[in-house]
């Protein structure tokens, strides 16, 4: 199922017309990103740029983006039929996120072909300036940052933004509620530097998994990647630490992050996933690069963040199914019974979430909310819970349920103020999103319980039910009668 590497993935896309090579010279400063944005807005192909201004004599001359920028290509990356819909994709990810296949360690691999220690220069890579108001060129967009728990040594792979600051430094934003941030806090508490490894370019499953907050106590994303691939991930040891990285990765950047605020550098703003620029510039912890390894003729991988109506970014095409699967698994793991579905639309990245349940007791929707809101994710700021007769993929059905199954006077709307929230949410005052001061943003979350309220009386006139029968259904006997005579009416 899994691709051997990024090159095999891009070749497969090119063979099926899902990838276009851009051979015309393109500048890394906004021009490249504008092309990616226009192609993405038009539901176009993945792109491979191989003529980037100023990169003819550098370590890396190629950049790929948007290879996961459609539902069809996400399905292909997961080894599914290209016609697979989001419902089936969510169920597939729900299952696979609960499985694991252990990785295997190799002595070496293609990513070790070139090893640079003393003369590291990150400007040798085609790092774009993605948005006009960005604080700089962002080298970490589609990259996976590998860290490890200081005590257990269990590794994590997460996606965190990082800006190119100098030849050897990358200031990064690693929220405290996410695994990389938690690991950093362990080192901070002891005044120690934390080793990191940045992986750029591999099997697309790497990006999907690293960008998803999968619950995995006791094991890492590498085990989940193995389950998604159907085969073990082949890893090699870093040059400067015990961290492990995919042997067939395109580029690996190794370094350390110091907890000393004196070493922090300015980072931001950046055009973030909500479709707005995320936060003012501020000082952030820095990856001090000690070593870079890469394949011969490596391919840089980046992604253009930011989604708004009619303008989806690459990540939105897979995070909708992945975040829905995470939410569904979380509810199952905690023990909320009879959850029959979860869904967040691509444009909202899990901030708005719909959950479908077969309700068996009063207060079950609030149990759903409590479980999700305590999980530590940027998930379900706005939560809608519906009964199992409402199709959560059908906007009309959900709107109808909100209209006629909610009553604010009966507690169908619940607020949970003062919770952690996204650092990138522009509806929250900027001072409340100070990562260094608070570790996270701040949300007031809201539950819309659009299930039938069990505090309503059982009505004899409704056949012992709380709600009247639907008036939009045709009586079965009458329906049979008109169908039998349908041709007589000469309507069709």
pTM value is: 0.93
pLDDT tens for 118-152 read 999 999 999 999 999 999 999 999 999 999 999 99
Q: Can you spell out the DSSP letters for 184-245?
A: HHHHHHHT--EEEEEEES--HHHHHHHTS----TTS-HHHHHHHHHTSPPEEEE-SSSS-EE
Angle between helical axes of 221-229 and 86-96 (0-180°, round to 10): 120
% of residues, the chain, pLDDT over 70: 100
Residue 164 pLDDT greater than 90, yes or no: yes
For the chain, what is the mean pLDDT? 94
Q: How far apart are CA 322 and CA 94, in angstroms?
A: 8
pLDDT tens for 268-323 read 999 999 999 877 789 999 999 999 999 999 999 999 999 999 999 999 999 999 99
Average pLDDT over residues 223-251: 97
Tokens standing for 151?
Answer: 């005590």
% of residues, the chain, pLDDT over 90: 85
Average pLDDT over residues 417-440: 87
pLDDT tens for 353-390 read 999 999 999 999 999 999 999 887 889 999 999 999 99
Write out 389-402 in H/E/C secondary structure. Answer: CCCCCCHHHHHHHH
Write out 258-274 in H/E/C secondary structure. Answer: CCCHHHCEEECCCECCC
Residue 1 pLDDT greater than 70, yes or no: no
What is the pLDDT, as a whole number, of residue 155?
96
pLDDT tens for 28-84 read 999 999 999 999 999 999 999 999 999 988 899 999 999 999 999 999 999 999 999
Q: Which CATH class is domain 316-449?
A: alpha beta
Two domains, one topology: 6-301 and 316-449: no
Domain ranges within the chain, ordered by starting residue:
6-301, 316-449
Scored b (16 or more CB within 10 A) or e, 99-126 reads: ebbebeeeeebbbbeeeeeeebebebbb
CA angle 207/222/169 to nearest 5° reads 60
Q: 6-301 falls under which CATH superfamily?
A: Electron Transport, Fmn-binding Protein; Chain A (2.30.110.10)
Residue 466 pLDDT greater than 90, yes or no: no
Residue 2 pLDDT greater than 90, yes or no: no
The neighbouring-strand residues paired with 357 are 339, 387
**Residue 408 contacts residue 145 (beta carbons within 8 Å):** no
What is the pLDDT, as a whole number, of residue 461?
73
**Residue 395 contacts residue 403 (beta carbons within 8 Å):** no
Burial degree of 353 (CB within 10 A; 0-12, 13-18, 19+): buried
CB-based contacts of 332, cutoff 8 Å, min separation 6: 339
């Amino acid at each position: 199922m899994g691709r051997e590497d990024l090159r095999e993935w891009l070749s497969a896309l090119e063979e099926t017309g899902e990838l276009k090579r851009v051979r015309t010279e393109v500048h890394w400063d906004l021009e490249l990103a504008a092309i990616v944005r226009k192609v993405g807005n038009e539901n176009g192909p993945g792109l491979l740029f191989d003529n980037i201004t100023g990169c003819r004599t550098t370590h890396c001359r190629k950049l790929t983006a948007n290879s996961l920028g459609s539902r069809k290509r996400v399905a292909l990356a997961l080894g599914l039929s290209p016609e697979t819909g989001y419902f089936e994709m969510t169920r597939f990810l729900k299952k696979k996120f609960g499985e694991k296949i252990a990785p295997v360690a190799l002595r070496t691999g293609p990513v070790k072909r070139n090893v640079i220690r003393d003369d590291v220069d990150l400007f040798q890579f085609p790092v774009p300036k993605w948005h006009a108001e960005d604080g700089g060129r962002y080298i970490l967009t589609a990259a996976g940052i590998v860290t490890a728990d200081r005590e257990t040594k269990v590794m994590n792979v997460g996606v965190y933004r990082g800006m190119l600051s100098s030849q050897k430094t990358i200031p990064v934003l690693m929220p405290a509620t996410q695994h990389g941030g938690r690991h950093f806090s362990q080192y901070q508490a002891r005044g120690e530097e934390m080793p990191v490894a940045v992986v750029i370019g591999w099997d697309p499953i790497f990006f999907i998994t690293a960008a998803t907050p999968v619950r995995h106590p006791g094991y890492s994303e590498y085990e989940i990647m193995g389950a998604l691939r159907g085969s073990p991930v082949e890893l090699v040891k870093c040059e400067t630490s015990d961290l492990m990285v995919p042997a067939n990765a395109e580029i690996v950047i190794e370094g350390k992050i110091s907890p000393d605020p004196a070493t922090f550098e300015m980072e931001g703003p950046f055009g973030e996933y909500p479709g707005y620029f995320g936060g003012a510039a501020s000082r952030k912890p820095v990856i001090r690069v000690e070593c870079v390894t890469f394949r011969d003729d490596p391919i840089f991988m980046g992604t253009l963040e930011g989604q708004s109506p009619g303008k989806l970014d690459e990540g939105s095409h897979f995070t909708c199914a992945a975040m829905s699967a995470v939410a569904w698994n979380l509810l199952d793991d905690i023990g909320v019974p009879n959850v029959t579905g979860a869904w967040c639309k691509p444009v909202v990245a899990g901030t708005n979430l719909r959950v479908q349940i077969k309700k068996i007791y009063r207060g079950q929707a609030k149990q759903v909310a409590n479980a999700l809101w305590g999980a530590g994710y940027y998930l379900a700021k706005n939560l809608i819970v519906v009964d199992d007769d409402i199709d959560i993929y059908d906007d009309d059905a959900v709107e109808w349920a909100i209209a006629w199954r909610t009553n604010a006077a009966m507690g169908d709307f619940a607020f949970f103020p003062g919770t952690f929230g996204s650092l990138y949410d522009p509806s929250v005052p900027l001072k409340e999103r100070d990562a260094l001061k608070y570790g996270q943003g701040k949300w007031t979350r809201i539950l819309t319980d659009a299930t039938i309220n069990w505090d309503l009386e059982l009505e004899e006139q409704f056949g012992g039910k709380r709600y009247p029968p639907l008036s939009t259904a045709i009586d079965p006997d009458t329906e049979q009668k008109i169908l039998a005579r349908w041709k007589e009416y000469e309507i069709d």
